[in-house]
Structure 1
Amino acid sequence: MKSDPKECLYCQNNETLHNLMIEIAELSVSRVFLFKEQTYHGRCLVAYNGHINDLNELSNEERNAFMDDVARATRAMQRAFHPEKINYGAYSDKLSHLHFHLAPKYVDGPDYGATFQMNPGKVYLTDAEYQNLVEAVKVNL
């Protein structure tokens, strides 16, 4: 189901978006965000700048630029947080705006060896702790 850009939290840059995540930086064709729910320490999201439903709708050049942004974000996360692995999720069933969830996984951490939970609602931080995570990613971009 394609969502309306007028109702899209990424396109509207609305309160719903800001309640869920903190913008870290603009990249070449996307924006990178830190999830406020931090069960997966350092979890981020990369959202494409345009209201595109699926990766396959992009031209080769657009797709390559977006995937370069995703790789750039995950490299920054790897340097900042040193996870064992970063899991990627691109679902968009109800919100058809191209975006990738980037969930760092740690050997002794939650759901290691399994699929990450979309929003477990367990770990929230102080403003200062969020700012430290944002800066750790930003300095490594």
Structure 2
Amino acid sequence: MKSDPKECLYCQNNETQHELMIEVAKLSVSRLFIFKEQTYHGRCLVAYKDHVDDLNLLSDEDRNAFMADVAKVTRAMQKVFNPDKINYGAYSDTLSHLHFHLIPKYVGGPDFGGVFQMNPKKVYLTDEEYADMAEKLKKEL
């Protein structure tokens, strides 16, 4: 399904986006965000820099660069948050802009061994805690 960049959360950089996530850094071909809902401590999101509906629409070079960005972020997440596993979610049923949800999972933590909840709306941090997470991630990038 083709989507319109004028209606895209990531392209418009609008209030809805700011309610859901905090931009941390620009990477080689993408942007890194901390997801504000932190049921899964350290949850991040990597969105491709341009409006592309699907990974298979990128050139091999751009796809490899995007996946390198995703790997770079998960390496930083591993160092900063030390999860037991990181889950990758690439859903675009209703928001067709290439992005990956990166969800740290911890043994004994929420949904370990199962599918993560997209937005359980349970755990939110202070502005200072988000800023601390962002600084630690940037340092590891």
- 1:44 corresponds to: 44
- 1:78 corresponds to: 78
Q: Which moved more, 1:75-84 or 1:128-137?
A: 128-137
Query: 3-state DSSP class of the match of 1:77?
Result: helix
Rounded to whole Å, the distance in 2 between the matches of 1:84 and 1:63 is: 27
Query: 3-state DSSP class of the match of 2:65?
Result: helix
Query: 3-state DSSP class of the match of 1:131?
Result: helix
Deviations 1:68-123 (A, max 9, x none): 00000000000000000000000110010000000000001100000110000000
- 2:32 corresponds to: 32
Deviations 1:3-55 (A, max 9, x none): 21001010011111111000000000000000000000000000001110110
- 1:140 corresponds to: 140
Matched letter for residue 89 of structure 1: G
Structure 1 stretches of 5 or more lacking a match?
none
Rounded to whole Å, the distance in 2 between the matches of 1:31 and 1:107 is: 29
1:136, CA displacement in angstroms?
1.4
Rounded to whole Å, the distance in 2 between the matches of 1:110 and 1:136 is: 23
Q: Where do 4+ consecutive residues of structure 1 move more than 6 Å? A: none
Rounded to whole Å, the distance in 2 between the matches of 1:76 and 1:116 is: 20
Query: 3-state DSSP class of the match of 1:71?
Result: helix
- 1:58 corresponds to: 58
- 1:69 corresponds to: 69
TM-score by length of 1: 0.98
Rounded to whole Å, the distance in 1 between the matches of 2:97 and 2:74 is: 20
Contact persistence 1:2–1:95 (CA under 8 A): no
Structure 2 stretches of 5 or more lacking a match?
none
TM-score by length of 2: 0.98
- 1:110 corresponds to: 110
